[in-house]
Amino acid sequence: MKCRKVTRFIPLFAGSDFPAETIAKVRHHLQDCRSCQQEYTEYQSILQQTREWLTQERKDWEEAEWKKTVHAAIEKANEKRSWLAPWPFKRGWAFVLMTASAILLSLLVLHPSLVKDKMRGIATVSADPFQTEIVSMQLVSKETGLKINWFFHKDLKLEVIE
Amino acid sequence: MKKEEELINEVLEGQNDSFEPLLRPYRQGILNMAYRMTGNIEEAKEICQDATIKVFKYLGSFNRERSFKNWLYKTVVNCSYDFLKKKSRYNALIAEQKKSFFDDSYNPEKNYSNMEIKEKIQNCLRVLSPKEKAVFLLRDAEGFSINEASQILGSSSNSIRTHLSRARQKLRKEFVRYSNPEKGGMFS
Protein backbone atom coordinates (compact mmCIF):
# COMPACT_ATOMS: atom_id res chain seq x y z
CA MET A 1 0.00 0.00 0.00
CA LYS A 2 1.32 3.45 -0.96
CA CYS A 3 1.63 6.53 1.27
CA ARG A 4 -0.93 8.47 -0.78
CA LYS A 5 -3.59 5.85 -0.15
CA VAL A 6 -2.69 5.35 3.50
CA THR A 7 -2.83 9.11 4.18
CA ARG A 8 -6.49 9.05 3.12
CA PHE A 9 -7.23 6.30 5.62
CA ILE A 10 -5.34 7.72 8.61
CA PRO A 11 -8.11 10.07 9.93
CA LEU A 12 -10.42 7.07 10.26
CA PHE A 13 -7.74 4.62 11.34
CA ALA A 14 -6.70 6.93 14.21
CA GLY A 15 -10.24 6.92 15.56
CA SER A 16 -10.67 3.14 15.18
CA ASP A 17 -13.31 3.67 12.50
CA PHE A 18 -11.66 1.69 9.77
CA PRO A 19 -13.12 -1.47 8.19
CA ALA A 20 -11.47 -4.50 9.74
CA GLU A 21 -10.48 -6.08 6.44
CA THR A 22 -8.03 -3.28 5.54
CA ILE A 23 -6.57 -2.64 9.00
CA ALA A 24 -3.71 -5.12 8.62
CA LYS A 25 -2.48 -3.52 5.39
CA VAL A 26 -2.48 -0.01 6.87
CA ARG A 27 -0.80 -1.22 10.05
CA HIS A 28 1.88 -2.94 8.03
CA HIS A 29 2.56 0.26 6.07
CA LEU A 30 2.73 2.36 9.25
CA GLN A 31 5.41 0.09 10.67
CA ASP A 32 7.66 0.83 7.71
CA CYS A 33 6.82 4.47 6.86
CA ARG A 34 7.99 7.10 9.32
CA SER A 35 6.09 10.11 7.87
CA CYS A 36 2.78 8.24 7.81
CA GLN A 37 3.43 7.04 11.35
CA GLN A 38 4.00 10.65 12.44
CA GLU A 39 0.74 11.76 10.82
CA TYR A 40 -1.07 8.87 12.49
CA THR A 41 0.33 9.90 15.90
CA GLU A 42 -0.79 13.50 15.28
CA TYR A 43 -4.33 12.41 14.48
CA GLN A 44 -4.47 10.13 17.51
CA SER A 45 -3.34 12.95 19.80
CA ILE A 46 -5.81 15.46 18.30
CA LEU A 47 -8.70 13.03 18.52
CA GLN A 48 -7.89 12.13 22.10
CA GLN A 49 -7.77 15.81 23.13
CA THR A 50 -10.95 16.59 21.23
CA ARG A 51 -12.92 13.69 22.67
CA GLU A 52 -11.76 14.53 26.18
CA TRP A 53 -12.72 18.17 25.76
CA LEU A 54 -16.11 17.35 24.26
CA THR A 55 -16.80 14.95 27.13
CA GLN A 56 -15.76 17.40 29.84
CA GLU A 57 -17.38 20.55 28.44
CA ARG A 58 -20.97 19.49 28.49
CA LYS A 59 -23.96 21.68 29.12
CA ASP A 60 -26.85 20.44 31.21
CA TRP A 61 -30.43 21.44 31.95
CA GLU A 62 -31.55 22.93 35.19
CA GLU A 63 -34.01 20.45 36.68
CA ALA A 64 -36.97 22.85 36.69
CA GLU A 65 -36.24 24.04 33.15
CA TRP A 66 -36.02 20.50 31.82
CA LYS A 67 -39.34 19.48 33.36
CA LYS A 68 -40.97 22.66 32.10
CA THR A 69 -39.68 21.98 28.58
CA VAL A 70 -41.04 18.42 28.55
CA HIS A 71 -44.44 19.44 29.94
CA ALA A 72 -44.71 22.31 27.46
CA ALA A 73 -43.88 19.87 24.67
CA ILE A 74 -46.62 17.47 25.79
CA GLU A 75 -49.14 20.31 25.93
CA LYS A 76 -48.18 21.57 22.48
CA ALA A 77 -48.31 18.09 20.99
CA ASN A 78 -51.77 17.51 22.50
CA GLU A 79 -52.96 20.87 21.23
CA LYS A 80 -51.98 19.90 17.72
CA ARG A 81 -53.74 16.54 18.09
CA SER A 82 -57.12 18.17 18.90
CA TRP A 83 -59.98 17.58 16.39
CA LEU A 84 -60.78 21.27 16.72
CA ALA A 85 -57.54 22.13 15.02
CA PRO A 86 -57.59 20.50 11.61
CA TRP A 87 -55.01 21.39 9.00
CA PRO A 88 -54.22 24.16 8.15
CA PHE A 89 -56.01 25.99 10.95
CA LYS A 90 -54.92 26.24 14.56
CA ARG A 91 -58.36 26.97 16.03
CA GLY A 92 -61.81 25.40 15.86
CA TRP A 93 -63.62 28.58 14.85
CA ALA A 94 -61.49 28.78 11.75
CA PHE A 95 -62.71 25.30 10.84
CA VAL A 96 -66.35 26.39 11.30
CA LEU A 97 -65.73 29.45 9.14
CA MET A 98 -64.16 27.29 6.48
CA THR A 99 -67.16 24.88 6.48
CA ALA A 100 -69.69 27.75 6.22
CA SER A 101 -67.76 29.25 3.29
CA ALA A 102 -67.68 25.86 1.57
CA ILE A 103 -71.49 25.41 1.95
CA LEU A 104 -72.19 28.90 0.58
CA LEU A 105 -69.85 28.34 -2.31
CA SER A 106 -71.44 25.01 -3.20
CA LEU A 107 -74.93 26.65 -3.11
CA LEU A 108 -73.75 29.28 -5.55
CA VAL A 109 -72.39 26.67 -7.88
CA LEU A 110 -75.25 24.12 -7.65
CA HIS A 111 -78.26 26.51 -7.49
CA PRO A 112 -77.32 29.77 -9.18
CA SER A 113 -81.01 30.49 -10.04
CA LEU A 114 -81.94 30.68 -6.36
CA VAL A 115 -79.53 33.49 -5.81
CA LYS A 116 -80.31 35.24 -9.10
CA ASP A 117 -84.09 35.37 -8.35
CA LYS A 118 -83.53 36.98 -5.03
CA MET A 119 -81.18 39.50 -6.53
CA ARG A 120 -83.70 40.38 -9.26
CA GLY A 121 -86.51 41.02 -6.73
CA ILE A 122 -84.34 43.39 -4.79
CA ALA A 123 -83.42 45.25 -7.96
CA THR A 124 -87.10 45.68 -9.05
CA VAL A 125 -88.23 47.22 -5.80
CA SER A 126 -85.40 49.64 -5.41
CA ALA A 127 -85.39 50.72 -9.07
CA ASP A 128 -89.17 51.43 -9.24
CA PRO A 129 -89.41 55.20 -9.88
CA PHE A 130 -93.20 55.39 -9.24
CA GLN A 131 -92.99 54.23 -5.68
CA THR A 132 -90.78 57.05 -4.58
CA GLU A 133 -91.31 59.93 -7.05
CA ILE A 134 -94.89 59.85 -8.44
CA VAL A 135 -97.76 60.28 -5.99
CA SER A 136 -100.52 61.40 -8.45
CA MET A 137 -101.04 61.33 -12.21
CA GLN A 138 -103.54 63.25 -14.52
CA LEU A 139 -104.73 61.89 -17.84
CA VAL A 140 -106.44 64.36 -20.35
CA SER A 141 -108.38 63.11 -23.36
CA LYS A 142 -107.58 65.12 -26.55
CA GLU A 143 -110.96 64.43 -28.11
CA THR A 144 -113.35 65.15 -25.23
CA GLY A 145 -111.14 67.15 -22.88
CA LEU A 146 -112.02 64.74 -20.04
CA LYS A 147 -109.55 64.77 -17.15
CA ILE A 148 -108.92 61.76 -14.99
CA ASN A 149 -106.82 62.12 -11.83
CA TRP A 150 -105.06 58.98 -10.50
CA PHE A 151 -103.70 59.00 -7.00
CA PHE A 152 -101.12 56.50 -5.85
CA HIS A 153 -100.25 55.58 -2.36
CA LYS A 154 -96.49 55.78 -1.75
CA ASP A 155 -96.19 52.13 -0.84
CA LEU A 156 -98.43 50.86 -3.62
CA LYS A 157 -96.78 48.56 -6.11
CA LEU A 158 -97.61 49.41 -9.71
CA GLU A 159 -97.78 46.54 -12.12
CA VAL A 160 -97.66 47.46 -15.77
CA ILE A 161 -100.00 45.33 -17.89
CA GLU A 162 -99.37 45.39 -21.57
CA MET B 1 -36.43 1.81 37.57
CA LYS B 2 -38.75 1.10 34.67
CA LYS B 3 -37.48 -0.15 31.35
CA GLU B 4 -37.61 1.99 28.23
CA GLU B 5 -40.07 -0.39 26.60
CA GLU B 6 -42.48 -0.13 29.54
CA LEU B 7 -42.27 3.66 29.55
CA ILE B 8 -43.04 3.81 25.83
CA ASN B 9 -46.09 1.59 26.37
CA GLU B 10 -47.30 3.79 29.22
CA VAL B 11 -46.95 6.98 27.16
CA LEU B 12 -48.86 5.37 24.31
CA GLU B 13 -51.59 4.35 26.75
CA GLY B 14 -51.98 8.00 27.70
CA GLN B 15 -49.82 8.26 30.82
CA ASN B 16 -48.06 11.52 30.03
CA ASP B 17 -46.05 11.39 33.27
CA SER B 18 -43.99 8.54 31.85
CA PHE B 19 -42.68 10.69 29.01
CA GLU B 20 -40.19 12.64 31.10
CA PRO B 21 -38.50 9.53 32.60
CA LEU B 22 -38.30 8.12 29.07
CA LEU B 23 -36.25 11.09 27.84
CA ARG B 24 -34.29 11.71 31.05
CA PRO B 25 -31.26 9.48 30.28
CA TYR B 26 -30.66 11.37 27.01
CA ARG B 27 -31.48 14.92 28.08
CA GLN B 28 -27.84 16.05 28.37
CA GLY B 29 -26.83 14.32 25.16
CA ILE B 30 -29.55 15.89 23.02
CA LEU B 31 -28.93 19.33 24.52
CA ASN B 32 -25.21 19.14 23.74
CA MET B 33 -25.83 17.79 20.26
CA ALA B 34 -28.15 20.69 19.44
CA TYR B 35 -25.84 23.16 21.18
CA ARG B 36 -22.81 22.18 19.16
CA MET B 37 -24.86 22.14 15.96
CA THR B 38 -26.07 25.72 16.43
CA GLY B 39 -23.49 27.24 18.77
CA ASN B 40 -26.15 28.88 20.91
CA ILE B 41 -27.61 27.41 24.09
CA GLU B 42 -31.01 29.13 23.82
CA GLU B 43 -31.43 27.92 20.24
CA ALA B 44 -30.35 24.46 21.37
CA LYS B 45 -33.11 24.41 24.00
CA GLU B 46 -35.62 25.51 21.37
CA ILE B 47 -34.50 22.67 19.09
CA CYS B 48 -34.79 20.19 21.97
CA GLN B 49 -38.35 21.32 22.62
CA ASP B 50 -39.28 20.92 18.95
CA ALA B 51 -37.72 17.47 18.95
CA THR B 52 -39.56 16.54 22.14
CA ILE B 53 -42.89 17.58 20.61
CA LYS B 54 -42.21 15.43 17.55
CA VAL B 55 -41.11 12.44 19.61
CA PHE B 56 -44.26 12.65 21.74
CA LYS B 57 -46.48 13.10 18.71
CA TYR B 58 -45.02 10.32 16.60
CA LEU B 59 -44.12 7.83 19.34
CA GLY B 60 -46.90 5.59 18.05
CA SER B 61 -45.17 5.23 14.69
CA PHE B 62 -41.75 4.49 16.21
CA ASN B 63 -40.41 1.11 15.08
CA ARG B 64 -39.84 -0.87 18.29
CA GLU B 65 -37.22 -3.06 16.68
CA ARG B 66 -34.93 -0.06 16.41
CA SER B 67 -33.15 1.87 19.13
CA PHE B 68 -35.17 4.63 20.80
CA LYS B 69 -31.96 6.54 21.52
CA ASN B 70 -31.00 6.57 17.82
CA TRP B 71 -34.51 7.70 16.86
CA LEU B 72 -34.38 10.50 19.42
CA TYR B 73 -31.01 11.71 18.16
CA LYS B 74 -32.24 11.49 14.59
CA THR B 75 -35.14 13.76 15.50
CA VAL B 76 -32.79 16.22 17.20
CA VAL B 77 -30.41 16.29 14.21
CA ASN B 78 -33.32 16.81 11.79
CA CYS B 79 -34.73 19.59 13.97
CA SER B 80 -31.27 21.20 14.00
CA TYR B 81 -31.11 21.05 10.19
CA ASP B 82 -34.62 22.55 9.96
CA PHE B 83 -33.70 25.26 12.42
CA LEU B 84 -30.58 26.20 10.48
CA LYS B 85 -32.50 26.19 7.21
CA LYS B 86 -35.38 28.22 8.61
CA LYS B 87 -33.12 30.96 9.75
CA SER B 88 -31.24 30.87 6.44
CA ARG B 89 -28.13 30.39 8.38
CA TYR B 90 -26.21 28.09 6.10
CA ASN B 91 -24.55 31.05 4.40
CA ALA B 92 -24.40 33.41 7.34
CA LEU B 93 -23.40 30.75 9.84
CA ILE B 94 -19.67 31.39 9.84
CA ALA B 95 -19.98 35.16 10.24
CA GLU B 96 -22.60 34.92 12.97
CA GLN B 97 -20.91 32.20 14.95
CA LYS B 98 -17.76 34.26 15.29
CA LYS B 99 -19.77 36.34 17.74
CA SER B 100 -22.12 33.83 19.29
CA PHE B 101 -20.45 30.42 19.23
CA PHE B 102 -20.03 28.97 22.71
CA ASP B 103 -20.54 31.66 25.29
CA ASP B 104 -17.50 32.07 27.51
CA SER B 105 -19.46 32.23 30.73
CA TYR B 106 -19.42 28.47 31.03
CA ASN B 107 -16.78 26.95 33.33
CA PRO B 108 -14.56 30.04 33.75
CA GLU B 109 -12.00 28.27 35.92
CA LYS B 110 -10.41 26.25 33.15
CA ASN B 111 -6.68 26.59 32.49
CA TYR B 112 -4.96 28.07 29.46
CA SER B 113 -4.25 24.79 27.68
CA ASN B 114 -7.94 23.91 27.90
CA MET B 115 -8.79 27.29 26.42
CA GLU B 116 -6.53 26.53 23.48
CA ILE B 117 -8.23 23.22 22.76
CA LYS B 118 -11.61 24.91 23.04
CA GLU B 119 -10.56 27.54 20.52
CA LYS B 120 -9.32 24.94 18.05
CA ILE B 121 -12.43 22.77 18.28
CA GLN B 122 -14.73 25.78 18.02
CA ASN B 123 -12.91 27.04 14.95
CA CYS B 124 -13.16 23.60 13.43
CA LEU B 125 -16.90 23.33 14.11
CA ARG B 126 -17.39 26.71 12.44
CA VAL B 127 -15.99 25.53 9.14
CA LEU B 128 -17.70 22.14 9.02
CA SER B 129 -20.81 21.63 6.89
CA PRO B 130 -23.96 20.67 8.86
CA LYS B 131 -23.64 17.03 7.76
CA GLU B 132 -19.93 16.83 8.63
CA LYS B 133 -20.66 18.45 11.96
CA ALA B 134 -23.47 16.01 12.74
CA VAL B 135 -21.30 12.99 11.87
CA PHE B 136 -18.33 14.33 13.81
CA LEU B 137 -20.40 15.11 16.91
CA LEU B 138 -22.27 11.82 16.87
CA ARG B 139 -19.04 9.84 16.63
CA ASP B 140 -16.51 11.87 18.63
CA ALA B 141 -18.71 13.67 21.16
CA GLU B 142 -21.60 11.28 21.72
CA GLY B 143 -19.69 8.06 21.09
CA PHE B 144 -22.00 6.47 18.52
CA SER B 145 -20.52 3.84 16.22
CA ILE B 146 -20.32 4.32 12.46
CA ASN B 147 -23.31 1.99 11.98
CA GLU B 148 -25.39 3.85 14.57
CA ALA B 149 -24.48 7.20 13.00
CA SER B 150 -25.50 5.86 9.60
CA GLN B 151 -28.89 4.79 11.04
CA ILE B 152 -29.40 8.16 12.71
CA LEU B 153 -28.50 10.22 9.66
CA GLY B 154 -30.03 7.85 7.14
CA SER B 155 -26.82 7.52 5.11
CA SER B 156 -24.61 4.60 4.17
CA SER B 157 -21.62 3.67 6.34
CA ASN B 158 -19.28 4.71 3.53
CA SER B 159 -20.87 8.14 3.33
CA ILE B 160 -20.54 8.52 7.10
CA ARG B 161 -16.85 7.52 6.92
CA THR B 162 -16.22 10.03 4.13
CA HIS B 163 -17.81 12.88 6.10
CA LEU B 164 -16.05 11.86 9.30
CA SER B 165 -12.71 11.72 7.54
CA ARG B 166 -13.24 15.19 6.07
CA ALA B 167 -14.27 16.59 9.44
CA ARG B 168 -11.15 15.17 11.11
CA GLN B 169 -8.93 16.50 8.36
CA LYS B 170 -10.38 19.97 8.94
CA LEU B 171 -9.91 19.53 12.67
CA ARG B 172 -6.24 18.67 12.18
CA LYS B 173 -5.78 21.67 9.89
CA GLU B 174 -7.22 23.85 12.60
CA PHE B 175 -4.92 22.36 15.22
CA VAL B 176 -1.90 22.84 12.96
CA ARG B 177 -2.83 26.39 12.00
CA TYR B 178 -3.50 27.40 15.57
CA SER B 179 -0.44 25.78 17.13
CA ASN B 180 2.24 26.90 14.70
CA PRO B 181 1.01 29.09 11.88
CA GLU B 182 4.53 29.91 10.57
CA LYS B 183 5.96 26.42 10.47
CA GLY B 184 2.63 24.89 9.55
CA GLY B 185 2.68 22.07 12.08
CA MET B 186 2.10 21.60 15.77
CA PHE B 187 4.30 18.57 16.04
CA SER B 188 7.21 19.75 13.85
Domain membership of residue A74 (yes or no) is yes
User: Minimal Cα–Cα distance from B186 to chain A, Å?
Assistant: 9
Span B157-183, average pLDDT: 82
Q: Which residues pair with A147 in a beta bridge?
A: A140
How many CB contacts within 8 angstroms connect chain A with chain B? 95
Domain membership of residue A131 (yes or no) is no
User: Minimal Cα–Cα distance from A124 to chain B, Å?
Assistant: 57
Measured CB to CB, residues of chain A less than 8 Å from chain B are 8, 11-12, 14-15, 17, 38, 41-43, 45-47, 49-51, 53-55, 57-61, 65-67, 69-74, 76-77, 80-81
Q: Which residues of chain B neighbour A74 with C-beta distances below 8 Å? A: 16, 19, 56
pLDDT, residue A147, reads 80
How does pLDDT run across B35-87, given as a tens digit for each residue? 999 888 999 999 999 999 999 999 998 998 899 999 999 999 999 999 988 76
Checking B149-154 for CB contacts under 8 A at 24+ apart, the result is B151/B66, B151/B67, B151/B70, B151/B74, B152/B70, B152/B73, B152/B74, B152/B77, B153/B74, B153/B77, B154/B74
Q: How far apart are CA A1 and CA A30, in angstroms?
A: 10
Domain membership of residue B183 (yes or no) is yes
How does pLDDT run across B126-149, given as a tens digit for each residue? 888 889 999 999 999 999 999 999
Cβ distance B31 to A59 less than 8 Å, yes or no, reads yes
- Same-domain check for residues B118 and B77: no
DSSP letter for A128, please.
Answer: -
Domain membership of residue B154 (yes or no) is yes
Q: Residues in chain A with pLDDT < 70?
A: 80-92, 113-135, 151-162
Torsions phi, psi of B168, nearest 5? -70, -35
Q: How far apart are CA A97 and CA A21, in angstroms?
A: 66
Phi-psi region of B3 (alpha: psi -120 to 50; beta: other; left: phi over 0): beta
- Same-domain check for residues B87 and B167: no
pLDDT, residue B48, reads 95
pLDDT, residue B174, reads 82
Q: How far apart are CA B25 and CA B57, in angstroms?
A: 19
Residue A50 belongs to domain spanning: 3-56
How does pLDDT run across B92-115, given as a tens digit for each residue? 655 555 555 555 444 444 444 555
Q: Which residues of chain B neighbour A22 with C-beta distances below 8 Å? A: none
Residue B19 belongs to domain spanning: 1-91
Q: How far apart are CA B40 and CA A126, in angstroms?
A: 68
Count of structural domains, chain B: 2
Span B158-178, average pLDDT: 89
Q: Which residues of chain A neighbour B117 with C-beta distances below 8 Å? A: 49-50, 53
Provide ipTM, 2 decimals: 0.75
Count of structural domains, chain A: 2
pLDDT, residue B62, reads 92
User: Minimal Cα–Cα distance from B48 to chain A, Å?
Assistant: 8
pLDDT, residue B112, reads 42
Q: How far apart are CA A141 and CA A147, in angstroms?
A: 7
pLDDT, residue A91, reads 63
Angle CA B144–B145–B147, to nearest 5: 120
pLDDT value at B169 more than 60: yes
Among B91, B112, B141, the domain-final residue is B91
